[in-house]
Every structure is written in structure tokens, then in C-alpha cells.
């Protein structure tokens, strides 16, 4: 009975059963983007039935600003197929699933759209993380080049300002002093950036990740993040990690600063720590053991990262901000890579989610312990 209904509504050819037998979800939408058909794999994937889906709007279900909806719109404009890899779908019954999407006109009716979704394999996830690591390595080269190229003219500017100071009157010496002071500040900033060079060893120590996060949240909450509602969800049983404390602080301050710039008054910033029970992680520590990674989730309710940039945000000089330098997230990726970790990002309007995984330190203290608030 259901077969006849499907055939009459969607005008599926006699061989439609092939679509139903596919091992991955296939969806068909009508010319108004309403669901009219879903195969058996789709019902399993979405944990829902065809009867519930039929008559629902794709814009309402997938979020009107999502990558998938934009792909559907583009296919309708061009009448040609599109594909997108490693897209994060966050749905009512399906949270943060990474999929490859194919969207195209239905072959027997151009007004209909057919969508197929295939989950990323562990190999594809690993390749995605390797891409971020490659971005981090390229950042090391960029920072070394920038430091070398900028340091020499800065020395000349500072020397010239000091010479001018000898000939200027008292009323103008404040300006020359300002030039010298700001030049010294930039030189110190370059020294901090140079720590990210791959040629420089990390200063490793046993780190309680909650102490570092608490420190960074305190700095954020008292300065650039004053408008945010900051929430903590810490797992007090987490073990210590072996890390460079200063670089971790720089990493988290960069992420919190990004969140503050993408949010408005009373938006929220959630920082959560946990064991990554389902995250594949191949990094080995010095003992040759694959340790269950520690996970830090940083989630803000801001404007999000544009879909076009999400695959490139960890590359140097790529920025979602009007006057951004594009170095902040590249520095973050570099720090994570140097610590043998992995970082991922998913974003849509109203939520940006950074997920960081770091190896635990089996030689360190048994547990990271509670933070200062007892959490």
C-alpha cells in the first residue's frame, strides 16, 4: 500500500526499490522543499519514520541557514548536482554528525530534489585532522618568517626614535617615548609568537587543565568577555596532561576572544571537559601508548562562522572578521598540533563549537582534580 502512495506522489520509476536498498540515507523533496520520501536507511539514520517526515519542511528541520539548505537552493538555481564533504549536521535526534552530502535534481522530475547523506569514515575524519595539522605546520613557518622580517625594521624604528628624542623639545618627547614603548611591546609580542615555531621545544609540565581554563575564563570575564554568561561543566576526575602552560593559556584566550567578538550582550560561553569516549585519536605519547584523550568543548551562542570558511579557519590569514588578521586560529591549531592533539570546529548561526582532544599524561598525577570552585 505504501509503495503505491510513494509512486503516485513522487513519480518514482519502477526501479525505485534500488534507492530503498541503498545503505545510506536518501531523501526526496518536492518543489516547495517538503519531504515526500525517505528510504529505510534514512529512517534508521534520523531515528524517525517516513510517516513523520512527510509533509515537513526541510528548512524547519535542517535550519534555514544550514549548508544543506544553501546547497538545495543552489541546485534549484543551476539544475546541476552539488557535493560537500565533512559537513556537521546537528538535528533534534542527531547531534553533531559529520557527513558527506550530495544534492541534485531527481532524474525523473526536475522539480524534485534528491539528497544522499553518507557518514564520514574514521579514515576521512583522520584526513580532516591531518589537514588541520598541516595548517599548524605551515603556521610555524609563517611565524618564523614574520618574526625575522618584522624584527629588523622595528630595531631601525626604535633607534631612529631614540635619536630624534635627543633633538626634540620636552613637549614632543612624549611622542618619541610612545614610539619606543610600542616598538618594545611589538618585539615582546614577536617573542611570544616565536614560541610557536616547530624548532623550539615545548616547556612541558604536569598541568591541571581546569586550573588553566579557570585562569583564562577569569581573564575573559574581567575584560573582553564581560558581556558573556560564562558556564563551566568540568569533569573533576580527569587526569593531568603534559603541556606547556603558557601556550595553553594563549590557546584558550584566543578561542575565548573569538567567542567574545562573535557574541552580543548575555550570549553564553560554555566550557566543558570530559573523556572523549567516541572520538578516534591516533596520537601516541612518549610511552608508545594510545591514551584515551581528554576533551575540551568550547561552545558559544554567537553569530557563527560562515560555511565557506569553516574548512579553512585554521589556515593562516583566513578570517571571518572584517579587520581580522587570520592568525588567531592558526596559532590555536599550531599549539594543539605541538601537543599531539586534534581540533575540530562546527558552526551555524547561534552556535559555534570547538572540540579539542589532548593526550593524557600517564606519568603525571592520577587526576587533574577539582577546580577552585569545587567543580
Q: Is residue 365 part of a domain?
A: no
Q: 71 is written with which cell numbers? A: 546547497
pLDDT at 269 (0 to 100) = 96
265 has a pLDDT exceeding 60: yes
Encode pLDDT of 55-101 as tens digits. Answer: 788 887 777 667 888 888 888 888 878 777 767 776 655 656 778 88
Q: Is residue 369 part of a domain?
A: no
Encode pLDDT of 331-369 as tens digits. Answer: 888 888 888 888 889 888 889 999 999 887 654 444 444
Residues 20 and 163 in one domain: no
Residue 113, φ and ψ in degrees, nearest 5: -120, 135
Boundary-marking domain end, from 100, 120, 140: 120
Task: Report the interhelical angle of 122-167 vs 170-194 (nearest 10°).
Answer: 160
Residues 48 and 168 in one domain: no
Residues 116 and 128 in one domain: no
In order, the DSSP letters of 146-211 are HHHHHHHHHHHHHHHHHHHHHHS-HHHHHHHHHHHHHHHHHHHHHHHHHTT-TTSPP--EEE-HHH
How many domains, in total, are found in the chain?
Answer: 3
Residues 222 and 320 in one domain: yes
Host domain of residue 259: 205-358
Give the Cα-Cα-Cα angle 318, 324, 326 (nearest 5 degrees).
30
124 has a pLDDT exceeding 80: no
Give the Cα-Cα-Cα angle 210, 215, 220 (nearest 5 degrees).
120
Residues 222 and 162 in one domain: no
Encode pLDDT of 155-188 as tens digits. Answer: 778 888 888 877 777 777 777 887 888 788 777 7
pLDDT band of residue 123 (cuts 50, 70, 90) is: very low
Residues 231 and 338 in one domain: yes
Residues 209 and 344 in one domain: yes
Does residue 39 sit in helix, strand or coil?
coil
Q: Is residue 65 part of a domain?
A: yes
CA nearest 116: which of 78, 68, 77?
A: 68
pLDDT at 56 (0 to 100) = 84
Per the CB < 8 A criterion, the answer to whether 250 and 349 are in contact is: no
112 has a pLDDT exceeding 90: no
pLDDT at 287 (0 to 100) = 33
pLDDT at 138 (0 to 100) = 54
Per the CB < 8 A criterion, the answer to whether 162 and 181 are in contact is: no
Q: Is residue 363 part of a domain?
A: no
Place of cell 569533569: 235
- Determine the Cα–Cα distance for residues 126 and 17; give it in Å rounded to an integer: 34
Q: 16 is written with which cell numbers? A: 525505485
Residues 211 and 347 in one domain: yes
CATH of the domain at 12: 3.30.450.20
CA nearest 230: which of 219, 240, 238?
A: 219
- pTM for this model (two decimals): 0.50
pLDDT at 199 (0 to 100) = 54
CA nearest 345: which of 354, 337, 336, 333?
A: 354
264 has a pLDDT exceeding 90: yes
Residues 350 and 218 in one domain: yes
Residues 108 and 130 in one domain: no
pLDDT at 217 (0 to 100) = 94
Q: Is residue 302 part of a domain?
A: yes
Q: Is residue 370 part of a domain?
A: no
Boundary-marking domain end, from 175, 194, 213: 194
Residues 112 and 56 in one domain: yes
pLDDT at 140 (0 to 100) = 57
Per the CB < 8 A criterion, the answer to whether 237 and 200 are in contact is: no
- Among the ranges given (52-56, 86-90, 134-138, 203-207), the one the predictor scored with the smallest mean pLDDT: 134-138
Residues 349 and 278 in one domain: yes
Per the CB < 8 A criterion, the answer to whether 325 and 335 are in contact is: no
Q: Is residue 368 part of a domain?
A: no
Instruction: Please tell me what DSSP assigns to residue 31.
Output: T
In order, the DSSP letters of 93-104 are TEEEEEEEEEEE
Mean pLDDT of the chain: 75
Q: Is residue 364 part of a domain?
A: no
pLDDT at 111 (0 to 100) = 77
Amino acid at each position: 500500500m505504501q509503495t503505491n502512495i510513494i509512486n503516485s506522489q513522487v513519480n518514482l520509476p519502477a526501479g525505485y526499490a534500488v534507492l530503498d536498498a541503498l545503505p545510506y540515507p536518501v531523501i526526496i523533496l518536492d518543489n516547495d522543499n517538503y519531504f515526500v520520501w525517505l528510504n529505510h536507511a534514512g529512517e534508521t539514520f534520523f531515528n524517525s519514520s517516513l510517516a513523520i517526515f512527510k509533509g515537513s519542511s526541510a528548512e524547519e528541520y535542517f535550519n534555514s541557514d544550514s549548508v544543506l539548505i544553501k546547497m538545495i537552493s543552489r541546485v534549484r538555481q543551476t539544475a546541476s548536482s552539488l557535493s560537500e564533504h565533512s559537513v556537521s549536521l546537528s538535528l533534534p535526534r542527531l547531534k553533531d554528525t559529520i557527513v558527506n552530502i550530495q544534492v541534485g535534481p531527481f532524474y525523473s522530475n526536475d522539480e524534485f530534489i534528491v539528497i544522499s547523506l553518507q557518514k564520514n569514515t574514521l579514515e576521512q575524519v583522520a584526513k580532516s585532522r591531518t589537514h588541520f595539522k598541516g595548517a599548524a605546520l605551515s603556521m610555524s613557518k609563517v611565524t618564523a618568517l614574520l618574526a625575522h622580517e618584522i624584527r629588523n625594521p622595528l630595531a631601525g624604528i626604535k633607534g631612529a626614535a631614540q635619536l630624534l628624542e635627543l633633538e626634540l623639545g620636552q613637549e614632543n618627547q612624549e611622542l618619541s617615548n610612545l614610539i619606543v614603548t610600542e616598538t618594545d611591546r611589538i618585539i615582546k609580542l614577536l617573542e611570544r609568537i616565536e614560541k610557536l615555531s616547530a624548532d623550539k621545544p615545548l616547556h612541558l609540565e604536569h598541568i591541571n587543565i581546569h586550573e588553566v581554563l579557570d585562569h583564562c575564563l577569569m581573564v575573559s570575564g574581567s575584560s573582553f568577555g564581560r558581556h558573556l554568561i560564562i558556564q563551566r561543566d568540568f569533569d573533576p576526575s580527569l587526569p593531568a596532561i603534559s603541556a606547556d602552560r603558557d601556550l595553553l593559556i594563549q590557546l584558550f584566550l584566543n578561542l575565548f576572544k573569538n567567542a567574545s567578538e562573535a557574541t552580543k550582550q548575555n550570549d553564553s560561553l560554555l566550557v566543558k571537559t570530559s573523556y572523549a569516549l567516541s572520538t578516534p585519536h591516533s596520537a601516541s605519547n612518549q610511552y608508545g601508548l594510545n591514551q584515551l584523550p581528554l576533551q575540551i568543548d568550547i561552545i558559544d551562542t554567537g553569530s557563527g562562522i560562515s560555511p565557506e570558511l569553516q574548512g579553512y579557519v585554521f589556515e593562516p590569514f583566513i578570517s571571518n572578521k572584517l579587520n581580522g588578521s587570520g592568525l588567531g586560529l592558526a596559532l590555536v591549531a599550531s599549539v594543539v598540533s605541538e601537543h599531539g592533539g586534534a581540533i575540530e570546529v562546527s558552526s551555524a548561526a547561534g552556535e559555534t563549537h570547538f572540540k579539542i582532544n589532548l593526550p593524557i599524561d600517564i606519568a603525571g598525577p592520577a587526576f587533574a582534580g577539582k577546580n577552585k570552585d569545587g567543580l
